[in-house]
Chains A and B, each alone.
Chain A
Amino acid sequence: AQSVTQLGSHVSVSEGALVLLRCNYSSSVPPYLFWYVQYPNQGLQLLLKYTSAATLVKGINGFEAEFKKSETSFHLTKPSAHMSDAAEYFCAVSKGASGSRLTFGEGTQLTVNP
């Protein structure tokens, strides 16, 4: 069975500081990994995805994530936080390439302080 674990249900950073959201996965087969963002009362928006093409994945809004097989990790980073980044972030894993059956982590609420 596949699973992801997000370390830290709440992360708080200052505007302009580095954002680091942690995700570790467990999978018996090469995983497809995703990061989604959710704003209040909204659906999920895809930030980026890993599909084995490159270990460093760049996404929208300045986010990127690095796939590290040795550490079974797929942490999300952004060099400089913006107030508009405040939201909940979800790491997800899919066994198939279609991304149609996702297993989500518990989510990390990101707060950005002025």
Chain B
Amino acid sequence: KAGVTQTPRYLIKTRGQQVTLSCSPISGHRSVSWYQQTPGQGLQFLFEYFSETQRNKGNFPGRFSGRQFSNSRSEMNVSTLELGDSALYLCASSGGQGNTEAFFGQGTRLTVV
């Protein structure tokens, strides 16, 4: 069974640009969550999608958005990039109902210069 796949693995963007990250969950999983990991703030929850609907949202500005497609694949978008958005972005998938663990992808390392 394939794991959670995140693309790309590495990205370098310039301040002010926008970026889109992709996450393909484990087959059959309907919940996809996104996390930001930085040395200063640690691991922080961005949002969760379940069956194409945003189910939970963390405390991030509106520049951070996401969506989920009918095949459960998810994208997150960050607009007007700031230097502080440099981070490892992790995606996790879970069954969403009764399944009690989240499986993580290897992450996308975003560097904003």
Contact = CB atoms under 8 A, between A and B. Distances in A.
Interface in B63-113: 90, 92, 94-107, 109
Contacts of A100: 31, 33, 48, 50, 55-56, 92, 94, 96, 102
A98 B98 contact: yes
Given A98-B31, A100-B31, A90 B43 contact: yes
Contacts of A107: 42-43
A interface bracket (residues with beta carbon within 8 Å of B)? 20 to 34
B interface bracket (residues with beta carbon within 8 Å of A)? 20 to 34
Given A42-B106, A44-B90, A90-B43, A102 B33 contact: yes
A103 B45 CA distance: 7
Contacts of A41: 106, 109
Given A43-B90, A43-B105, A101 B56 contact: yes
Contacts, number: 72
Contacts of A34: 101
Given A43-B106, A103-B45, A98 B90 contact: no
A13 to B, nearest CB: 23
Contact of A101 (B48, B90, B99, B107): B48
Majority SS at the chain B contact face: strand
Contacts of B95: 98
A45 interface: yes
Interface string A31-55: 0101010000111111001010000
B106 A98 contact: no
A4 to B, nearest CB: 11
A105 B97 CA distance: 24
Contacts of A90: 43
Interface of A: 32, 34, 36, 41-46, 49, 51, 90, 92, 97-107
16 contacts: A36-B104, A41-B106, A41-B109, A42-B107, A43-B6, A43-B90, A46-B103, A51-B100, A97-B99, A98-B31, A98-B95, A98-B96, A98-B100, A99-B101, A104-B44, A105-B42
